[in-house]
A and B are shown apart, each in its own frame.
Chain A
């Protein structure tokens, strides 16, 4: 794959490390969550078929973590951003 880094431009995927799906922000106060709610946060990953937002780390480039939309069916990519938001 070629991933378009918002800072460095089009780069080969070898320069990046995959960092998992973009998820809700880590809870502010985990102690306030029930065991079940915490378990869901930790273990229930979306594993989307189709378009999903993902974290990728441009470790052999600008060292930024970027958010990439990738179609898990055909590896189509779009809208790479440096926003570290949560979905």
Chain B
């Protein structure tokens, strides 16, 4: 095998000593260090690198940078990654990649049939074709997905080599070409803190592949000097392989740094806050829209120069250039100087720069003015072109070439400027968009402003760097711009579509998404004239490359079609990210166990070791739903635990309960205003149940508040709403009642809560030994006392969520496990049973203790859930009072909480099941329109030996005894409405 057939004998910045073996589409090749995958493939003479998205046409490398529209690959192996542009992928040893979107291979792709049938696949054909019958969309979808789409998502996790880094600087400079380096130099010399980022592997921008000179030496020697000087500046950080991907408000810019060579980090997402930003993002050459302009071998003119001069690779043996501007002549001449046979320059203009024409002619290049490419011969590689004189399409002439350079002008890379809020302006002279007025603290410099000569880029950059540094407080002297090669102005003649030879001919405006000029015309005919609509209808500009090279051509074409100016059409919105950001980089270290920082209680490990079935239970807690014995089912475990609490004794970890300490002389006034009941008469050492509403009358939370001292209360809140309640209370204190002397401290994590509940609870506490009298007369329901239990200082309260005799111990979190184990030991004789939160939920359902988040919704008020008894009749205003009285004034049916006893006592009504009148005959899914309520929770109660449920039913309180129907997917079950409290309705057991 001949190695690297298209590698030039000398030249380029690759390291010819370091040979790198790699694989592409299963075949082995070699390249050099310093290559990209694209340049290495080109060196090996590979011209078809992929297939197009819709028509599966063979495609070759189009560019040498981030604007690549054809050459996307899937990296295989442990670092699998889809849709990577080969043009920005540095070649590494052992790289294994294959083309995306080709099956079975790039050279023989069965999807190619869509190309032959292209007339049946116009823009919008999915919407038109697959809409009937309406419900078959999913069925069609499975086939569409197989045909469409790019790379495949990796099957394994991306690993942990991603990180985020915050960075603050005076000046961020995006782009390390001549303008960006000049800006970095002048800003750096001022002493300002500078971050310079560039998305290539080396600084220098287009000069890496150019024959330009600075100070009468090759331009790269100036670049090398500047980079060396910058590296010596302590306040300057220079990052290569780092793309600025998004520009957000307040000069916040995200930068994705790729470090494939590092073992400890693969990608690093920088979150940069800069006082000033210089955008020196350069410009992207645009293709020309002509028949079969997507054939392999057709390439941007500047890219061919870059491959030749930077990588030492000949992009073809015999080249031709198709252009509309003077700037591109340079590339034809550079190629000729490097030994590529350049047959002709085909220029649509008649007024090309005479000196350039003369220079070209001297290199043996024929310059053909006033002509265009009328036909491309060769499907998998250009073999020849036919050209025609403009206006007279008939006079054809054939030119043999295997490389067709195209240059339709240059588009400044205004993406970041636009993301920063700037509105692009249309420049008639350049026939493209340039940055408009700065909105944030940002200036553009160099080619991204439409200044395309090297001299302008350098002076722009030097000035911009000095200006931004000065505005950060770092004045400096002017630096004289170096002298450099004379360059001509573009002097371009815009051409948005070259006349097509045949009515079935196709010219592509978006290679990546296979959008042709005909699709744009169709969109316009069908009324999608706005460029935003045309984009979405045709998908032009929506591919992996986001239309970096093609978008302006689409705008120009639409302007032509509608006979308006491109400036009046405007651009589509530029949105982050400029270039793709991997999910791994977005996640950073938030990976695996670190995705969610689960909160733990001191008992969590004990549960894990003892059969606890942990699940997410809100507020980032993972609590045991039940604690199963070996071989025990969930239902059996819950039944066993629930029976133990009612008949023996259970123990429950209540640590996740929210706890807010309330101090201050106005604490009572505050509680009176935020709870619906009155707090003035609560003595120290007692507690009280309270219900808290939002000011719109909806249920916020309920719980017990203890009075620990004259001016010290401790409020318990639901675990899930602890943070919401704190915000609610703090906002009222700070914003509505700043005059109140009240201080809130969240102490949820400071205290472990362990509750012993059941008829034998008192015996267990006695056995654990406590220093207080816990007899019923001395320690009553809702009392709270400081005590010692099992040798640990604690506070113990007679409060309950199960309806049984309960002792709730609160100890510092670090003593939680000691107390838990001591109580387990003390309760051994009574078979003390740890219970989980599902069991707790079952027990509270038997008692109809309301859960604001389940029995309440966005409509129910405190009376609806049967909690009217908690509303004080004779007190002033409280939060939610007026809204509740408005509910009553408005009248109408209310969703009231009732109990349900299903006729089939084994049927457990599922949460959320709709309730319908028993005479509603309709059993179709649409029947839920007639629902009169819904199940809020249902359980099988082992204590009642039947199923029970709580439900919201319209005016349910007045319907006790009625029969209604509960609907589920599989069956309809009738149930009787009953009083909600199923067990111990008078609450004697908890007061025992």
Contacts and interface: CB of A to CB of B under 8 A. Distances in A.
Contact of B439 (A19, A29, A74, A84): A74
A65 B734 contact: yes
B266 interface: no
A30 B877 contact: yes
A42 B877 contact: no
Contacts of B727: 17, 19, 57, 59
B890 A84 contact: no
B730 A57 contact: yes
A23 to B, nearest CB: 10
Contacts of A65: 730-731, 734-735
A37 to B, nearest CB: 10
B573 to A, nearest CB: 14
Contacts of A77: 250
Nearest to B883: A42
A51 B559 CA distance: 37
A2 B735 contact: no
A75 B730 contact: no
B886 A38 contact: yes
Given A26-B695, A43-B696, A74-B439, A31 B249 contact: no
Contact of B877 (A31, A43, A57): A31
B439 A64 contact: no
B635 interface: no
A76 B883 CA distance: 35
A63 B250 CA distance: 24
A18 B735 CA distance: 13
A47 to B, nearest CB: 16
Nearest to A39: B886
A71 to B, nearest CB: 10
B882 A31 contact: yes
A8 interface: no
Contacts of B731: 19, 55, 57, 65
A1 B250 contact: yes
A76 B736 contact: no
Contacts of A74: 249, 421, 439
A20 B891 CA distance: 30
B885 interface: yes
A47 B727 CA distance: 21
B500 to A, nearest CB: 44
Contacts of B882: 30-31, 33, 38
Nearest to A12: B166
A31 B730 CA distance: 24
Contact of B885 (A2, A31, A57): A31
B310 interface: no
B738 A1 contact: no
Interface in B718-751: 727, 730-731, 734-736, 738
Contact of A42 (B273, B695, B736): B695
Nearest to B439: A74
B249 A55 contact: no
- Give the most central of A31, A43, A64, A77: most B CB within 10 Å: A31
Contacts of B924: none
Nearest to B420: A74
Given A31-B882, A59-B727, A2 B695 contact: no
Which 3 A-B pairs rank lowest in CB-CB distance, beginning with the nearest? A30-B882, A65-B734, A75-B249
Given A42-B883, A65-B731, 9 more contacts: A19-B727, A29-B877, A31-B881, A33-B882, A57-B727, A65-B730, A65-B734, A74-B421, A84-B734
Interface of B: 249-250, 273, 421, 439, 695-696, 727, 730-731, 734-736, 738, 877, 881-883, 885-886, 889-890
26 contacts: A2-B250, A19-B727, A19-B731, A26-B695, A26-B736, A29-B877, A31-B881, A35-B886, A38-B882, A38-B883, A38-B886, A39-B886, A42-B695, A55-B731, A57-B731, A59-B730, A64-B734, A65-B730, A65-B734, A65-B735, A74-B421, A74-B439, A75-B250, A76-B249, A77-B250, A84-B734
